[in-house]
Chains A and B, each alone.
Chain A
Amino acid sequence: MPDQTPDRIPDRSVLLDHVSIRFGNFTAVDNANLKINSGEFFSFLGPSGCGKTTMLRCISGFSEPTEGKVLIGGKDMAGVGPNKRPTALIFQHLALFPLMTVAENIAFPLEVRGVSKKERRKKADELLDMIALPGIGDKKVSELSGGQKQRVAIARALAVEPDILLLDEPLSALDLKLRQHMRTELRAIQKQVGVTFIYITHDQGEALTMSDRVAVMSRGVIEQVGEPDRIYNRPRSAFVASFVGENNALQGVIKGQSGDLAALETPMGTFEARVGGGRKYKAGDEALLFVRPEQLIPCATENTFQATLSRQEFEGATNHVFAKAGDTELRISMVNAGLAGSLPGQGESLSLGFAPMNGTILPVGHMASES
């Protein structure tokens, strides 16, 4: 890194300045505008085809933005190839080199920079220690397990001490247990090396548990950027509300708004709820009301209505209850109270409700498709 004062931490931020990426008539990324802070664990979350991988390739230098600029560490990256950027990418299928040993894989970035063989080996062993796999340097890549390959790929990416580490759904090929373990591990490695991590995933569990901040993307548009709890509790668009976590959506017409709260008339009755994104509505506007299944509770005093239990799915800790109110089927999550509690029976009538702060009124927009 040229002329940096030694007492300053290197600037490892990424700035997307009105970035649009188009392929012919297709807009893969539409006017993305955000700053990823130095040393942050930042995730792009979205369904497949939302443009998150295109975004990643644009940051790593495999494609150039059609419009706008990508700045890494404050420097414009236009015309800078992937091999000249201070970024390292971990591919979805890792792209370890099968013809090389583990140590040769890890030392590859050093080899192409002309580092001597002895020094390469030393650095590779250091990195193997860091990922807690000492002594496997002479193994072939094919002899490693999935989790080991994962860690070797991370070590290889970190060998040249990049400022930005980009990860393209690297955990998607692992089984559930290992995936959960690797989440913790990735987070720990990130804290240890202090490199900015940009993580791409369609798995909201991964995005919410690991990230400092999350950007939710849909159809090339960044719908919302924020801390995981804000994304979950304060969605700003119908897509975010329906994509992140489970949600019940009720369509209705605004009756009136006062400050943060508005009244919405739906076929099931008129409900009072918080207005998402600080928007202003006029009476008569069409809007959507979102209520989380775990926030629809049987003994509520506000926003109450009657529903009939239609079916339930038992999943250990939680019991997913589906209740019909009119034509709408609502999803309710009930904590398993054990043998001391009791579960409602089939066809039973329930009195449900939710606190106004727990309902979110959002403008009508496209929703995450059911999968």
Chain B
Amino acid sequence: MSRHTLFGGAYALAFFAFLFGPLVIMATTAFNSSRFPRVAPWECFTTGWFGELFGNARLMEGLMNSVIIGVGVVALAVPIGLAGALALSELPPKLRSMLYTVLILPILIPGVVLGISTIVLWGQITRGTGAGFLYNGYFLTIVGQITFVSAYAMLVFIARLQRFDATQTEAALDLGATPGQAFRKILLPFMAPAIGSAAFITLLASFENYNTTVFTVLSESTFTTALASKVRHGTDPSLSALAVIIITLTLVGALTNEAYQRRKEAEAGGRASRSPLYANPVTRALTHPGIVFAILVTAIGGITYAGSQYDSSVCEAAVLQEKLDRQEELRAEQRARIEAQEAEQGVTVPKPDSAFGGAFGGVGTPAAPAAPKPESPSAFGGAFGGITAPKTEE
């Protein structure tokens, strides 16, 4: 192996580690029972964080809101984007570049500005017209997000429209179609893939938006804003569990899409007859995107079910017991040392004031042999439990 390929391989490895390392670490922490998301020390394999995630009412409510807002944004931003792209394609070049700038501008404006201006504008409008019922988080977030999300959709449509042969529409008109028929039967089918991707992109953009939404959502919260406020109050592995879910969904989507694209390509290119994979009826059926999707969903469903049946409480109890034992051991050691000192000097040495004077938790509380509360309220789990436990008893 030459030095070049060695370097290249190492570089590629480093590159992929940089890209996917964080995801792998995060996904791993979702299965560690430690209350703080970490990989080492590994305590117990658990699936409990998923339960914790779904049990979080604020997050689940936010998710529901995000879905409602997302659907609303897609339903409005996609037609607006399509109309904008069509208008641009019809205009003379000079006017086109001007309108293009205007339509793209919302993407360049900071989301914070859009958010605040949305509240201010619609506050005025709703108060002025007496349509106060419109002044709510859902409506404001949808109109606020549309201002820039429809520009994303438009960019997708412009790219597709550039490949559209305008004589197709003319041919349809010439063959007797009305302009409406030409649009529905010729242009719309051509735009269908772009409509799909625009809907997907706008849904994602709406879902993950924070800057604008945090203002326009008022007293409600979307998934993203709920998540953000949760992180501010300290993170726990249920967010890692969320990451695992999102990564899984993405992978399923990507794999199914890949299967679909490959099959389409093979069929279009006439490779279908040559490739042994497509010639054999069994493998041909197995590579069908629908089957690929079904297999993935079944596998994930099985794993989820198995995971939901898994009980890590025995292991967790053992870990807790281990910690307590260790604590007890340290205490005993300290006690022995103090006694030895007293015996040696014959004088009473003052007890150390500091909580850290000895080992953790060794603050001279001989009265509490196995006393700390079994469930520590601290986010740091039982590791430092010895510090707080004696105090709560006093």
Q: Give me the interface of A with B, judged by CB distance under 8 Å.
A: 60-62, 81-84, 87-89, 91, 93, 95, 97, 99, 108-109, 111-113, 142, 156-157, 159-160
Contact = CB atoms under 8 A, between A and B. Distances in A.
Contacts of A99: 189-190
Contacts of B186: 97
A112 B185 contact: yes
A112 B175 contact: yes
Interface in B166-209: 167-168, 170-178, 181, 185-186, 189-190
Contact of A93 (B167, B174, B176): B167
Among B165, B170, B176, find the residue whose CB has the most chain A CB atoms closer than 10 A: B176
Nearest to B189: A99
A60 B177 contact: no
Interface residues of B, number: 18
Q: When A and B form their complex, which 8 residue pairs have the shortest distance between CB atoms, in order from nearest?
A: A95-B171, A109-B175, A112-B177, A95-B167, A89-B174, A82-B174, A82-B173, A112-B181
Interface string B263-306: 00000100000000000000000000000000000000000000
B168 A83 contact: no
B175 A88 contact: yes
Contacts of B173: 62, 81-83
A54 to B, nearest CB: 14
A156 B165 contact: no
Given A112-B177, A160-B176, A95 B189 contact: no
A84 B165 CA distance: 22
A112 B176 contact: yes
B168 A113 contact: no
Given A87-B174, A95-B167, 4 more contacts: A62-B173, A82-B174, A108-B177, A142-B268
A97 B185 CA distance: 10
B178 A112 contact: yes
A61 B175 CA distance: 12
Contacts of B170: 62, 82, 89, 91, 95
Contacts of A112: 172, 175-178, 181, 185
Nearest to B169: A95
A60 B171 CA distance: 11
Given A97-B186, A99-B189, A99-B190, A109 B167 contact: no
A110 to B, nearest CB: 9
Nearest to A99: B189
Contacts of A159: 175
Contacts of B185: 108, 111-112
Interface in B146-179: 165, 167-168, 170-178
A109 B177 CA distance: 7
A62 B167 CA distance: 11
A95 B178 contact: no
B168 A97 contact: yes
A157 B175 contact: yes
Contacts of A84: 176
Given A112-B181, A112-B185, A88 B172 contact: no
B167 A83 contact: no
Contact of B175 (A81, A93, A160): A160
Nearest to A84: B176
A156 B176 CA distance: 12
Contacts of B168: 95, 97
Contacts of B171: 89, 91, 95, 97
Among B168, B178, B189, B268, find the residue whose CB has the most chain A CB atoms closer than 10 A: B168
A112 B185 CA distance: 9
Given A82-B170, A99-B189, A109 B176 contact: yes
Nearest to B192: A99
A112 B178 CA distance: 8
Contact of B165 (A95, A108, A111, A113): A95
B203 to A, nearest CB: 25
